[in-house]
Each structure stands twice: as C-alpha cells, then as structure tokens.
Structure 1
Amino acid sequence: MINTTIKPFSATAFKQGEFVDITEQDVKGKWAVFFFYPADFTFVCPTELGDLADHYAELQERGVEVYSVSTDTHFTHKAWHDSSDTIGKINYYMVGDQTGTITNNFGVMREGQGLADRATFLVDPEGVIQAMEITAEGIGRNAEDLMRKVKAAQYVAAHPGEVCPAKWKEGEETLAPSLDLVGKI
C-alpha cells in the first residue's frame, strides 16, 4: 500500500451539520488522513475519534484534511454526532461507506463482517499513501503519534535527500543518507 495512489471513490459524508459528497478528486492537492474504524456507537472508536478531533485544528494548520471512515451511513454519523459529547466535537469529515468501496480500496475490510479494521493512512497531495497503521480491535490509536508522522512526512517531502530517524520530532536533526553514514549510525 505504501507509495500507491488511492483508488477512485465517491461517498457522502457528514461534516459540520451538513451532508457533502466527496470523491478521490477532492482529496488531491492537499495532505489527507483516512481514519478507518469499525463502527459508530461503539467503545474504543469514540475515544480515538475524539482524540483526533482534539488535534484537528493543528492538522488543518498543516494543510491536512481528515476523513474518518466506517461502513455506517452518513445518517448514522449524524445521529452519533448529535447524541455523543465526544463525537459532537468532531469538525472533520465523517464518511459513510456502506457499500464498502473505500474500505475495500484501502484493503481494510474485515472479511465476512462488513466492518473496517482500525486503520490510518496518510496520503500526500498527489494522492500517494506515505504512511499507514493498522491495529487490532482492542488497541486504540494515538493522535499525537499521527501528528509526528504527518510532520515527518511533510518534512521529507519538502527536503529531498533527507530522512527522519526514529523518534524524530519537528526541529530535530535529520539524516542525509550517504556512503559516509554506512555503518556509523
């Protein structure tokens, strides 16, 4: 999946009190996070979505749009948004993927269940997947770690020839791979 281009899709999302139609063309030209989760009105999912909502303004400042995706409908997303304080603070797209097209495009459909795995994809402005994370059902994700990956991916994209080492944080030293570094790290 890494370094592949996202596949065509069309869907309806709930965003800030409205239903909006989106396609893969709406994603291109900016950084994007696709945040798949199993289902609305569940347990780990709202904690993750709320954590992501707490970082949405910072993601927006970095030119990143967020698309949370489950196989629920956009109507169900609205109902959940209206009934949960945690989900009610979400301002990013809550995409309804009841046909499973997007979930299957990203390869995270649970076979025989009709539910998405808990998965995150970071997509660059050309629509190419730069990072991904998939966790088991009971393991929630951390938006702070996603922010670190976004910053690293954006740094590498803006600085060809440099790479970000483990635990890299914005402002820290990077590496410039070369013959001189072989065996010295």
Structure 2
Amino acid sequence: MALTVGDTVPSFSLPVQQGVGALPDGEMLDITTAYPGKWKILFYWPKDFTFVCPTEIIGYGDLKSDFEDRDAVLIGASTDTDFVHFAWRKSDERLAAADFPWLADNSKLLANALGIVVKDAGVALRATFIIDPDNVIQHVTINGLNVGRNPAETLRILDALQTDELCPCNWTEGAETLQPAA
C-alpha cells in the first residue's frame, strides 16, 4: 500500500551520499529526525547514469536556496548505492554542484514503503513528496519513468501549503488566497 497525503513518513536510516567531496563512508540518514522543524522535499529518480534524471536533479539543485528560504531541505533518492551516487556526481560537474543529500535506497526499504517501486524494473518512479515539519506527507506527485518533473512547480506548491490558506488554481506567492463567504 502506497503512502499518500496525510500519512506519516516512516523512520528509515539509509546510506547517504553528501556530495562529490564526500567519499561514501557508511553515514546514515533518517529524514524524520535529521531536519527538525524543516519541511522536506524528497524526490526519487529511477536510476543514476541515465538521461532524464540529471535534468531533474540539476533543476532541483538550481532552486536549493529558494527551498531553503522557505525552511525546506532537498533530499534526493534513488535505488542505487551511495558509491554509484558518488561516481555519478564525480563524473558530471553539474551534478556535483547539486549540493544536497542523496539517499541510497538500494534496499528499496523506503521506496517500497512509499509504494513507488516499479515491479518489473526494480527502480523507483519519479516521485516527489512534500513533507511537513511533523513528517506528514502534504503533497505527492508521481511520474512515469520517461517524463521529468518541474521543480518550480514543487516550489509553488510548497508556497501554497505554507500559507495554510485556500489557494486557487495556478496560485503563486503573493497572490490573493480564497476567502469563503461567511
């Protein structure tokens, strides 16, 4: 059963690769405890060393400071190992610049709990989870393997969620929210 909006993210400690300068050293990360008081943008891609995935990782990386301005942290993940993550970052300076943690969910523990593993392929779908500071999922989008996401849309949705107001279609930060008649 897949987790969805309103569900609490389960606690899992997974290997993490922190950047091109950080050799995999067995460091583990549990996103439910590592970022107290922060929103979390957890996004899975299917596999390292592929074609669509780097465009998404770079796109999210380009908006990292915008997410940080909203008290949100980016967390990437795939079902590859931390060593594969390290090698991929080392092979591409644009990926090396995507300075946020990459979870190595090669055990597929979290991906299976989230319900995003493609059975026949054994990889994760392109899934994005916006998780609030209490580790409750507030938004989920899942794409098939061939279509990339729009990180700016994830940022727009985060902005809307953080208003705690009614936000109409295509609402953007600074626009009026809906006020129901009394």
TM-score (norm 1): 0.89
Matches within 5 A, 1:9-158: 9-16=12-19, 17-18=21-22, 19=24, 20-23=27-30, 24-156=32-164
Query: Match for 1:111: what amino acid?
Result: K
Quote the offset at 1:13 in angstroms: 0.8
Query: In structure 1, what is the Cα distance between the partners aligned to 2:179 and 2:108?
Result: 41
Give the count of matched residue pairs: 174
In 2, the alpha carbon distance for the partners of 1:84 and 1:47 equals 12
Measure the CA separation in 2 of the matches of 1:27 and 1:112.
34
Q: C-alpha displacement at 1:177, in angstroms?
A: 3.3
Contact preservation (8 Å) 1:11, 1:21: yes
What CA distance in whole angstroms lies between the structure 2 residues aligned with 1:69 and 1:28?
19
Which position in structure 2 is the counterpart of 1:4? 7
Structure 2: distance between partners of 1:111 and 1:67 = 23
Q: After TM superposition, which residue ranges in structure 1, 4 or more long, deviate above 6 angstroms?
A: none
Distance 2:37 2:127 in 1: 22
Q: Deviation of residue 51 (structure 1)?
A: 0.6
Aligned alpha-carbon RMSD (Å): 1.3
Rate the CA distance shift 1:104–1:27 in 2: closer, same or farther, 3 A: farther
Matched AA of 1:167 = N
Q: What is residue 159 of structure 1 aligned with on the other side?
A: none
Partner Cα distance (1:112, 1:29) in 2 = 37
Q: Please tell me the residue identity of whatever aligns with 2:172.
A: K
The separation in 1 between residues aligned to 2:43 and 2:180, in whole angstroms, is: 31
Give SS of 1:42's match.
coil
- List gaps (5 residues or longer) in structure 1: 157-161, 181-185
Alignment partner of 2:170 out of 152, 167, 171: 167
SS in 1 for 2:124: coil
Q: Contact (CA 8 Å) 1:152, 1:170: kept in 2 or not?
A: yes
Deviation (angstroms), 1:58: 1.1
Q: 2: distance between equivalents of 1:172 and 1:151?
A: 11
Give CA-to-partner distance per residue, 1:96-147, whole Å, 9 cap, x none.
0010011112110111322000110000000000111111221110111111
Q: Which amino acid aligns with 2:123?
A: L
Q: CA deviation at 1:176?
A: 2.7
